[in-house]
Amino acid sequence: MGMNQFGEIARLTEIADPDIACITNVQAAHLEGLGSITGVAQAKGELFAGMRPDTVAVVNYDDAHVRRLPKNSEKIIGFACTAAGRRHKPAVRATRIKDLGAEGMRFTLQIGDWQERISVRAPGMHNVSNCLAAAAMAHAGGVTSGTIIAALSDFQSTDKRMQMMTLPGGVRVLNDCYNANPASMAAALRTVSGFGQDCRRIALLGDMLELGEEADAAHAEVGRQAAELGYDQLAVIGSFADQVAQGAQLAGMAEEKVHVFVDTHSMVDWLYTEMVQARMAADDWLLLKGSRGMRMEAVLQEIEQRFATGINEKEYL
């Protein structure tokens, strides 16, 4: 379920009448319509509040906002992957978590007294939490532990969501441009910063939309994170591109490493030049991310088309 106003999830809950439901997390998104993270929690909490008593609420014990939401359900199944969350004794837990970089994550999945070591092709700590949410909902529905392990082990990322690709010349891409908010942007930046060895990492970012009065500060924070995580270059477009650029430079990223473009086409011009002139090479990593309204996938579409047709390649050499 999705929303950007109060009452929308309440109506969707009335329509769907779920037997099992999960609120994955509460983050600073859609603040333009909801005002604050407290408003986000209230709006998402309409799901638990609207459920019948004979249902199951799957609760993220790592998220204090979710833990505090009122629940009508008679049965609660908690999940957690942090020490703080595990203190609440959730039924579904992840321990011994190991980051495999671009290969994904490895952890021990525990459901009640049962446990097994598992590797998933989904990079980033946030995806361990997503795996636990899926496992907890499956467990609530009576799915066996072995089936849960098999399904998570076979997971493949979907279009524009942490999707890995390789461009001509071997440049790697993490395409996570389906949507963006401050938390998911931070997660993506942190995840790609750990990819590869002796390679360059470049962030291609668009605006995070619907943040209201928090937009300027949130975008400056994205720039600061890119700089502090050691990105070699930062390329940005959108109404808040200058704020991202300023945040990066204030955090120590050199001015010549920060590029502000008016649209995706001009970003592709720069990117194509960098690749053709071999300033980006095999095993370097690009992160592509922005809100859905920014349509950042246009960068990939145009760069692939240019290499497929060899458009004006000599001009860039």
pLDDT score of 111: 97
User: Does the pLDDT of residue 234 top 90, yes or no?
Assistant: yes
Taken in order 308, 309, 315, 317, the sign of the CA dihedral is: positive
Q: Which residue has the higher pLDDT, 11 or 163?
A: 11
User: Does the pLDDT of residue 159 top 80, yes or no?
Assistant: no
Decide: 238 and 294 in contact? Cβ < 8 Å: yes
Give the pLDDT confidence of 241-285 residue by residue, as tens digits.
999 999 999 999 999 999 999 999 999 999 999 998 888 989 999
**Phi–psi pair at 194, nearest 5 degrees:** -95, 5
Decide: 11 and 1 in contact? Cβ < 8 Å: no
User: Does the pLDDT of residue 88 top 90, yes or no?
Assistant: yes
What is the three-class DSSP state of 285? Answer: strand
Residues of the chain with CATH 3.40.1190.10: 8-153
The pTM (predicted TM-score) of the whole model is 0.79
User: Does the pLDDT of residue 311 top 80, yes or no?
Assistant: no
Residues of the chain with CATH 3.90.190.20: 163-316
Residue 51 banded pLDDT, cuts 50, 70, 90: very high
pLDDT score of 29: 78
pLDDT score of 313: 55
* CATH number, span 8-153: 3.40.1190.10
Q: Compute the average pLDDT of residues 11-28.
A: 95
**CATH H superfamily, domain 163-316:** Mur ligase, C-terminal domain (3.90.190.20)
Q: Which residue has the higher pLDDT, 152 or 312?
A: 152
pLDDT score of 35: 83
DSSP strand pairing (20-23 vs 233-237): unpaired
Give the pLDDT confidence of 120-140 residue by residue, as tens digits.
999 889 999 999 999 999 999
Cβ count near 315 (within 10 Å) = 9
The rounded mean pLDDT for the chain is 93
User: Does the pLDDT of residue 316 top 60, yes or no?
Assistant: no
Give the pLDDT confidence of 197-215 residue by residue, as tens digits.
889 999 999 999 989 888 9
